[in-house]
Structure 1
Amino acid sequence: MLQWGLARQRLAAARHAARAGTWPEAAKAYAAFLDVRPRNAAAWVQYGHAQKAIGELAGARSAYERAIALAPNVPDTWLQLAAVLRRLGDRTAAIDCCVRALTIDPNFEAATEELLGLGGRDRLPGGISHHQGDENVPGQAPWLEALVKAQTGDVYAPARYHEYRRSLTIPTPPARPRLDQPIAVMIDAQAALPVDVRATLSSLRDQTDPSWTAVVIGPATIGDHSIASLAALDPRIVFVQSSVSPTTSYMLLARAGTVLDRQAIAWFSYTAAHTGCCAAYADHDHCIDDWRTGRRHDTPLFQPMFDPDWFADADMCPALLLINSANFDITLEASLQRLRKGRNEVAHIPLLLASIKAMSLQALRAQAEPAYAGQTHAHPTVPRLLKASSHQIHVVIQTRDAPELLRDAIDSLHRLAARPDLLRITIVDNRSNLPSTARLLARYAARGIAHTIALDEPFNWSRANNLAVADSDAPVLLFLNNDTTSLTSGWDAALHDILADPDVGAVGAMLLYPDQSIQHAGMIFGIGSGGPVHEGIGHSARDRGPSGRWSRARSAAAVTGAFLAVRRHVFEDIGGFDAVELSIAFNDVDLCLRIREAGYRVIQTPTIRLIHHESKTRGLNVTRSQVAWDLEELAVVHRRWGAALFEDPGYNPHWTRIGQPFDGYRFPSLSETLSHIERSARADPWQVTAHASVDG
């Protein structure tokens, strides 16, 4: 009886503290109550709330898990655990918790909302992924339909691409301007079957804009086939056995088997006439026909604005490439590679204007004709052997104690370098107190591995980096977090290889959580409320991403400062990090934007990988003061860069901008499409302009 009286007193004290908003006292009181009543699930939930309020996310997670173990069928506890896991960066587990909550209560709207925000549209009950009705999907509820519509609008989950494509209507472009001469469609049929040629010519003859001619370039076997009779029926079509000289200003390059949307010629004509571009390309997908059920679409390739690194991979080649005859080459791939070598006005039309048609399974089972057997469209690439550069890399690492993390960061970086003798490592020691830290720094100094700068000032990430840069004259700077572990042998050779391109100003790496899920694969702008977000976060490191983007080097809007390599002369020319207005947050984003403003590209590469124990030394920003500070610095970046903070040349407008990146497909408006085309047609669509000068 005495024990129960004590428990009641502690519970009353805990509730009083919680109502007053004094969360540290509430946490202590709930902990004291649970010492006496450890099987009270509701108290564990309240203790979790208190732990979360004071920023102890690991403690909150543990408390919610204890509550679930005692009362597993309370959906709200699963939702609370999901919210904490999301803040801890464990997206996969958070999605699982939301699904568990909805399994218990399918009408739990808050869990549905959280699941959508996590990018788990494919896990909604009954497979519902967008607001439109589908009589084939059981269990739809009006509230869910309305909620999904309110949260995401017309967004289709990636798994439902065929439905999205079936609902998609390519709009008609503005009537003017248009080219004053036909577009010559050059169809590569050298490795094609007659049925491939038929598919492409049929789609051409169905165009809304009839201003085109077609040249089918193929072997004699194509010219002797009945498909060639189309040349006698339509004077716009000719068959030849070798390349021909250009006869018009613009040519549209395609391979046989590419099916053009009815609006394709009209859109390419509009784009060329409106922008005066030297080349243009569009998005495409793949399709297969069944004479009974019709055409089915899959595997879309939603392209970025022109990015030389993205198009270095033949797999990323657009299905259609409009090109000025002055830049014409024999094949689509060769013309694209010519465009990569200079700064050209290459417009991107963010519309699905083509589908690459696959042969039906029934036809594939038949015997191959000798004339076509063994022909392929493969474009083999020869792997390059990376050679370590003779140039020094200046590595800057900030630390405040955490000697174990620092040792792992430096030792792994040094051990895996192709030329560790060319690393100049500067440690900025910001008020460390532990004797073990002092011994580690002294040992590195004695072995000549790292030099230490003591900085007895309040934490200012930007200022510390700027000061350390003066510690050497190495041509390459690498700003590295002390809570990282390098995973890539020869990372320095890979870095030098990317920086061999003089147009590249900065390089970011693939960062993984300790569980091997992705923490950073570049940043994306314009998602949700508009702040920069890490892409790929929470996905498996084995996941290649949409169109394999996480497995290839590409231009990025920005990369994180946890691993940020910059050319020294670029860093100095733009004034380094902003230590006055951006001392803690978004300084890396601002630096990347200023690098792009100076005409250089920021590259995200998967060839350099590290484990990142995110915010191990400083902790996550969860308190009101920390979040408010972040928002103030984000406001600084927004005032400085304006629309550039919401526009990402690498993020196609077909992808949703609500929830998680790449979580679903949407329908771009006509105004969005026209604006995108105009912005993409600049000589460098990745270059940005600041609204105000950078101070400090």
Structure 2
Amino acid sequence: MGGWIVLRYTLPARARPQRPLLRLRRRNGRIDRFVLPGVVLGCAFWLGYLPADCEGIEIAGGPGFTLERVGARTSKHVFAECLAKGPLRAAGALRALLRRDERRWRDSLRGACAVTPLSAYAGWRDARGTPPPPETPAPDIRIRLVLAAEGATAGAMADTLAALTAQSHANWTLQLSGAEAGFAPDPRIRATAWNPDATTLALCGDADLFGILHPGDRLAPHALALLAAAYREEKPELVYADDEIGDAYPVPRLKPDWSPDLARVTGFVGAPALVARDFLAGLPPRPVSAPDNFATGLDLDLSDATRVVHLPRILCRRAIRPEDTARRAALLEQLSAVSDLVRPVLHKNILDLHRPRPDPAPPVSVIIPSRNRPDLIARVTTDVLTRTDYPAIELVIVDNGSADPKVLRFYEGLRADPRVRIEPFPHPFNFAAMVNRGAEVARGKILVLLNNDVAVLRTDWLDAMVAEAVRPEVGAVGAKLLYRDGCLQHAGVVVGLGGEAGHILRRRPADTPGHLGRLRVSHEVSAVTAACLAVSSEKYRAVGGFDAATFAVDFNDVDFCLRLGAAGWKTVWTPHAVLSHLESVSRGRPTGAARQLFEREAAAFAERWRDTIRHDPFHHPALSLTTFGEDLE
């Protein structure tokens, strides 16, 4: 049955955020590929299964990759650990083994033994150590920090200052407000009163980078050195890293790469973060009323930054402050009100959470590929035409040779509606080609791709999608899709999840907030499903639509979104468009020749988008690609 190995490896602190790629060469010429966890602390681990016919192991780790240890484990030992951690997973693994389903057997055991829930972060962190210093430090980069001591305990201040004075990067100064001059233990620390008329540029002074600390924040020993080195190498307007909150039960904040939409509404950047003086110089000279306002983004809209570097390294431990708890509760209360109110505005500098429908509303063409299934096509067309509050809809049904008399009679009735067009597609099933055919004949400025097994749950769903799709910087827009039982089916696609691409947090409760609360707001993702996807017709045609030759059935939507991204248009998922999706009920699971086609398309997708599979910018490299939750690996 083969055996298991555990790899321990490291990468330089400033390495590209690509996960290592491992290949197993097998006797029959087959190659199995695995994307390993990224290194976000001192080291990373990977648990993998070696089949009995494995002849070689190859690892593409990138410059500086160091394999520190290889350990062997028996299948019996791994199964025993799986049984202890998750009896249901162990039962599923046994069923897969009896069916000779090697991949499911392996993934079931890995999902239990190699994956750690966020709630068990402390032990996961302790096993991986702390991030190393940068290979090329930048001691000449000047950093100015601000720390407000008002209301802080002596212990919290001492912790923050001790961590600061222990930094390996020595070229920093700190403005300490609200503390007595004698409290400053280092000549680089200057105690002053807070000046409410000071601008961020004035606070920065002649330093290259500017940031803020809160009492209780404890920077990792090389935090400033790593941030300064990143600035020296790439000259960004903003550089930030990850952090953790709490002491007894710490919780990591694993941030995506730069996501301006998410930054506007959640202020996810937090600490540690440093802003370039050049960026501050370009902002309107408004005074910062309080130091807290800078950290929360209330007096500095960081979302305007375009050159941003994210270090996926945990470089700060932050204390839980009462005001944080109160602020978070207030934000969540406002967010929950979004579902009932039309357009609540949280702050003059924060993005409106529910964008209004454009006025006048651009014409929309809803394209539905379909074949037979009268129950499905009748429901979805009725929902689009009578349960959607949008004034300018064209419905294009691309029919792939329906022969069911009920469907044909239904079509006859639909033809009396001037909003409906039924476009025949008398060719072998090719989902991508059917979508392209619908786009060719559509007259709308916005195209909405909709599966025939989707049901409308909120009448304003199209308003929410069009409001995002008309933005100049946005390409594709995806919706919040639920299974029949109300659980999440689609909250965005993570490239690399499950091997090629997968839906994050599927089967979770519909009100799941997601890590950093991102499922409560519209935000950037790498891709969305074509089960409900909006895009302007101009941008659709600019990238050539779906690739029907390479991805006839699967991965065509993800490939389309990634090609939009390569052309400069981002993909956005919105929670304000809510629909139900039965997912593939009209096609079923692929078997036989269909399964072979799926595997060919999966291989083509992996070949074309290997770099993105190794690093989805909106899925942190510490998060698992084995499970579909937000777990550590």
CA contact (8 A) 2:262 2:524 kept: yes
- Judging changes above 3 Å, is the alpha-carbon distance between structure 1 residues 335 and 169 closer, same or farther for their aligned structure 2 residues? farther
Give the residue type in structure 2 aligned to 1:314.
T
CA contact (8 A) 1:386 1:497 kept: yes
Give the residue type in structure 1 aligned to 2:262.
W
> Is residue 355 of structure 2 the alignment partner of residue 396 of structure 1?
no
Q: Distance in 1 between matches of 2:327 and 2:383?
A: 44
Describe how 1:629-648 pairs up with structure 2 within 5 A. 629-648=597-616
Equivalent residue number for residue 350 of structure 1: 312
> Is residue 626 of structure 2 the alignment partner of residue 665 of structure 1?
no
Q: CA deviation at 1:627?
A: 1.5
Give the residue type in structure 2 aligned to 1:649.
P
Q: CA deviation at 1:189?
A: 4.8
Q: Distance in 2 between matches of 1:385 and 1:504?
A: 16
Give the residue type in structure 1 aligned to 2:232.
A
> Is residue 164 of structure 2 the alignment partner of residue 164 of structure 1?
no
Aligned length: 511
2:238 aligned residue (279, 282, 302): 279
Give the residue type in structure 2 aligned to 1:510.
K
Q: Distance in 1 between matches of 2:103 and 2:428?
A: 40
Q: Distance in 2 between matches of 1:101 and 1:629?
A: 26
> Is residue 309 of structure 2 the alignment partner of residue 341 of structure 1?
no
1:591 aligned residue (536, 546, 560): 560
> Is residue 255 of structure 2 the alignment partner of residue 314 of structure 1?
no
- Structure with bigger helix share is 1
> 1:146-173: CA deviations, max 9, x gaps?
xx4xxx3xx5333311212333422222
> Is residue 550 of structure 2 the alignment partner of residue 550 of structure 1?
no
Equivalent residue number for residue 378 of structure 2: 407
> Is residue 396 of structure 2 the alignment partner of residue 426 of structure 1?
yes
Give the residue type in structure 1 aligned to 2:473.
D
- Judging changes above 3 Å, is the alpha-carbon distance between structure 1 residues 566 and 233 closer, same or farther for their aligned structure 2 residues? closer
SS of the residue corresponding to residue 615 of structure 1 reads coil
Give the residue type in structure 2 aligned to 1:641.
W
Q: Distance in 1 between matches of 2:564 and 2:92?
A: 45
Equivalent residue number for residue 622 of structure 2: 654
Q: Distance in 2 between matches of 1:332 and 1:177?
A: 26
2:143 aligned residue (168, 171, 183): 183
Q: CA deviation at 1:582?
A: 2.0
Q: CA deviation at 1:424?
A: 0.7
Give the residue type in structure 2 aligned to 1:491.
W
Q: CA deviation at 1:431?
A: 0.7
SS of the residue corresponding to residue 477 of structure 1 reads strand
Q: CA deviation at 1:258?
A: 2.0
Q: CA deviation at 1:355?
A: 1.8
Equivalent residue number for residue 332 of structure 1: 295
SS of the residue corresponding to residue 466 of structure 2 reads helix
CA contact (8 A) 2:369 2:452 kept: yes
CA contact (8 A) 1:469 1:477 kept: yes
Q: Distance in 2 between matches of 1:375 and 1:521?
A: 27
Q: Distance in 1 between matches of 2:326 and 2:380?
A: 50
**Percent identity, aligned pairs only?**
24
CA contact (8 A) 1:461 1:584 kept: yes
1:580 aligned residue (549, 558, 563): 549
SS of the residue corresponding to residue 598 of structure 2 reads helix
> 1:632-652: CA deviations, max 9, x gaps?
122333343342343200111
1:604 aligned residue (573, 576, 584): 573
Q: CA deviation at 1:599?
A: 0.4
Any gaps of 5 or more consecutive residues in structure 2? 1-78, 80-85, 289-293, 335-345
Q: Give the TM-score, by structure 1 length.
A: 0.67
> 1:214-251: CA deviations, max 9, x gaps?
1124xxxx235xxx423365343333311344221111
Equivalent residue number for residue 562 of structure 1: 531
Q: CA deviation at 1:505?
A: 0.6
> 1:550-586: CA deviations, max 9, x gaps?
3332211211111111111111111111222222221
Equivalent residue number for residue 515 of structure 1: 485
SS of the residue corresponding to residue 505 of structure 1 reads strand
CA contact (8 A) 1:119 1:660 kept: no
Give the residue type in structure 2 aligned to 1:565.
A
Q: Give the TM-score, by structure 2 length.
A: 0.73
CA contact (8 A) 1:170 1:351 kept: no
Task: Provide the aligned C-alpha RMSD in A.
Answer: 3.3
SS of the residue corresponding to residue 187 of structure 1 reads strand
CA contact (8 A) 2:174 2:190 kept: yes
CA contact (8 A) 1:98 1:114 kept: no
CA contact (8 A) 1:495 1:507 kept: yes
Q: Distance in 2 between matches of 1:551 and 1:118?
A: 30
> 1:464-520: CA deviations, max 9, x gaps?
221211323321101110001111231122112223431111111122211122222
Equivalent residue number for residue 117 of structure 1: 107
Describe how 1:26-45 pairs up with structure 2 within 5 A. none
SS of the residue corresponding to residue 447 of structure 1 reads coil
Q: Distance in 2 between matches of 1:533 and 1:355?
A: 31
- Structure with bigger strand share is 2
